[in-house]
C-alpha cells in the first residue's frame, strides 16, 4: 500500500517537473564560422595592431561619411565578388568586418564570403557601428554628406503618386542581385556600393524616389543626391514595405 502511495505522490510531481524542463530547453543554433568581437575588444585589438585590417562593409558613400577611425571602406559586394583581390593576401591574418546596423547583415555576408575564400581569422563586430557608438567611441568623417530634408513616402502613397505623376523616377539602390529578383516596375538600378560613380545617369529634371531593402539606407543617398541638385523622396520601409502592401492587396 505504501509503495502505491509513494507512486501516487511522485508521478504527478515528476510529470510537472519534466514539463517544466522540456518547456525551458531551447534548440541551439549552429555557431557562425567566424568569431564575434565586441566594441571594446575591437578597440583594444586596433590599439595593439595599428595595421589591423578592419573593413566597413557599407557603400563607399556611407563609409566615407562616417566610419570607425582607422578602418577601410570595402563594401560587402566587393568582398563577395572577388575576396582574394580585395582582402589581404595572408589568409591567416586577422580581419574584421562591421556594418551600419546592429543586425550585422552585411558584415556577416562579407565574413561568410571571406571564410569561403579560405580566410581563417575572420571576425565580425558584434552589434556593428551602433555598438561602437553606444560604447561612446568616436567616429571619423572623410567626406561628409550634408543631411537634407528627404521626405519619406508610405508604399500606398507612392503607388498613388506613381499613377498620378509622370515626373517621378524610381531609383533602386539595392544590389544588382536583389534588383533582378524583383523590383518596382520602371525602377532604375544604381546600387549603393557604386552610387557616387553611377548617380550621374539620373536626369536632373525628374523627381527621384529612392528604394532600398528596408528603408534604412535611402536617407544618406537622398541627401547626397539633394546636394547634387536633385529633388528627392524615399520609400518608407523600402521594398519590404512595398511587397507587404502588395501581399495585403492580394
Partner 1 sequence: MEGLKGMNIATGRHCSHLFSGALVLLALFAVICLPVPAPAAQDCRFCHDEPLYRVDFNKSIHAGNGCTSCHVGITDVEKHRDGKEKPAPVDCGSCHQEIAKEYRNNFHYIQEDFQCSDCHRNIHAIRQDKDRNVKLAIIEKCTECHGNADYTTSGHGEAVLKGNQDAAACSDCHGLHNTRVFHTSLEQYPAEARDFYTQKCKRCHADSAMMTRNNLSDKMVAYYEGTYHGKVQELGYPAPVAGCGDCHTKHNILPKEDPRSSIHPDNLEANCGRCHAGFHARFLSYQAHPDYTDRDKYPALYITFLFMGALLIGTLAFFWVHTILWWRKVYWEQDRMEREGVVPPSVHATGEGLQQVERFSVKYRIMHVLLVLSFFTLVLTGFPLKYAGTEWAATLTRLWGGAHMAGLFHRGAAFLLIVGMTYVSIESLRFLFPKGEGRKGWLGRLLGPDSLFPNLKDLQDFKGMLRWFFNKGEPPKFDRWTYWEKFDFLAVFWGMFAIGGSGILLWKPEWSSYLVPGWVMNIAALVHSEEALLAALFIFTIHFFNTHFIPNKFPMDRLIFTGTYRLEELKEQRPLEYERLMAEGRLESMKRGHPSIPLKLISATFGLGSLLLGLFLTVTILWSVLFG
**x-marked contacts with partner 1 along 49-68 as a string, rule CB under 8 A:** ----------------xx--
User: Residue 211 Cβ, how far from partner 1 at the closest point, in Å?
Assistant: 12
* Interacting residue with partner 1 among 35, 91, 159, 214 (CB under 8 A): 214
Backbone angles phi, psi at 233, to 5 degrees: -135, 170
2 binds partner 1 (CB under 8 A): yes
1 or 30: CB nearest partner 1: 1
178 binds partner 1 (CB under 8 A): no
User: Residue 51 Cβ, how far from partner 1 at the closest point, in Å?
Assistant: 25
* Interacting residue with partner 1 among 77, 80, 100, 112 (CB under 8 A): 100
* Interacting residue with partner 1 among 151, 197, 207, 246 (CB under 8 A): 151
9 binds partner 1 (CB under 8 A): yes
44 binds partner 1 (CB under 8 A): no
* Interacting residue with partner 1 among 34, 98, 122, 237 (CB under 8 A): 237
User: Residue 94 Cβ, how far from partner 1 at the closest point, in Å?
Assistant: 26
Number of residues in contact with partner 1, rule: CB under 8 A? 46
Cross-strand bridge partners of residue 168: 207
* Interacting residue with partner 1 among 16, 18, 44, 227 (CB under 8 A): 16
Write out the three cell numbers for 7: 507512486
DSSP string, the chain: -HHHHHHHHHHHHHHHHHHHHHHH--PPPPPPSSEEE-HHHHHHHHHH-TT--EEE-S-HHHHHHSB-TT-EE--HHHHHH-HHHHS-S-TTS-EEEE-SSTT-HHHHHHHHHHHHTT-SSEEEETTHHHHHHHTT---B-SSPPPP---EEE-HHHHHHHHHH-SSEEEEE-S-HHHHHH---TT-EE--GGGHHHHGGGS-TTSEEEEE-SSSSSHHHHHHHHHHTT-EEEEETTHHHHHHHHHHHH-
Residues that bind partner 1 (CB under 8 A): 1-2, 4-6, 8-9, 12-13, 16, 19-20, 23-24, 65-66, 100-103, 129-130, 133-134, 136, 139, 141, 146-147, 149-154, 157, 214-216, 219-220, 236-238, 240-241
Amino acid at each position: 500500500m505504501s509503495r502505491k502511495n509513494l507512486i501516487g505522490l511522485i508521478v504527478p510531481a515528476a510529470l510537472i517537473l519534466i514539463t517544466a524542463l522540456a518547456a525551458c530547453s531551447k534548440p541551439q543554433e549552429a555557431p557562425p564560422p567566424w568569431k564575434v568581437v565586441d566594441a571594446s575588444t575591437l578597440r583594444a585589438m586596433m590599439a595593439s595592431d595599428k595595421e589591423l585590417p578592419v573593413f566597413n562593409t557599407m557603400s563607399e558613400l556611407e563609409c566615407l561619411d562616417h566610419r570607425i577611425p582607422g578602418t577601410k571602406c570595402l563594401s560587402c559586394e566587393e568582398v563577395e565578388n572577388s575576396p582574394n583581390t580585395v582582402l589581404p593576401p595572408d589568409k591567416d591574418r586577422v580581419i574584421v568586418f562591421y556594418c551600419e546596423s546592429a543586425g550585422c547583415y552585411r558584415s556577416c555576408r562579407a565574413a561568410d564570403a571571406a571564410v569561403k575564400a579560405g580566410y581563417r581569422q575572420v571576425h565580425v563586430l558584434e552589434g556593428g557601428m551602433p555598438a561602437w557608438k553606444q560604447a561612446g567611441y568616436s567616429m571619423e568623417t572623410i567626406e561628409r554628406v550634408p543631411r537634407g530634408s528627404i521626405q519619406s513616402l508610405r508604399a500606398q502613397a507612392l503607388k498613388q503618386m506613381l499613377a498620378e505623376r509622370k515626373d517621378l523616377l524610381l531609383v533602386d539602390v539595392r544590389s544588382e542581385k536583389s534588383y533582378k529578383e524583383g523590383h518596382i516596375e520602371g525602377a532604375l538600378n544604381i546600387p549603393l556600393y557604386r552610387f557616387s560613380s553611377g548617380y550621374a545617369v539620373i536626369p536632373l529634371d525628374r523627381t527621384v524616389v529612392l528604394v532600398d531593402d528596408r528603408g534604412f539606407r535611402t536617407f544618406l543617398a537622398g541627401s547626397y543626391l539633394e546636394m547634387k541638385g536633385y529633388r528627392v523622396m524615399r520609400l518608407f520601409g523600402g521594398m519590404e514595405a512595398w511587397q507587404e502592401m502588395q501581399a495585403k492587396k492580394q
